């Protein structure tokens, strides 16, 4: 199972994905740009 942690700063969403049960970070410093 995966857990995605996301937070928004203006038009940028940053995220991290953890593998639950093993507490391993699979993706760190992910960023998505939101455009209109």
Task: Count how many domains the chain has.
Answer: 1
Distance CA 2, CA 34 (A): 23
Note the pLDDT of residue 36: 84
pLDDT digits (tens, 9 = 90+) for 4-22: 999 999 999 999 999 999 9
Note the pLDDT of residue 33: 98
Containing structural domain, residue 13: 2-33
Let me know how long the chain is. 36
Nearest 5°: CA angle at 32, between 31 and 36? 150
């Amino acid at each position: 199972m995966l857990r995605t942690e996301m937070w928004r700063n203006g038009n940028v969403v940053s995220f991290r994905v953890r593998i639950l049960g093993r507490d391993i970070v699979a993706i760190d410093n992910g960023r998505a740009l939101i455009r209109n």
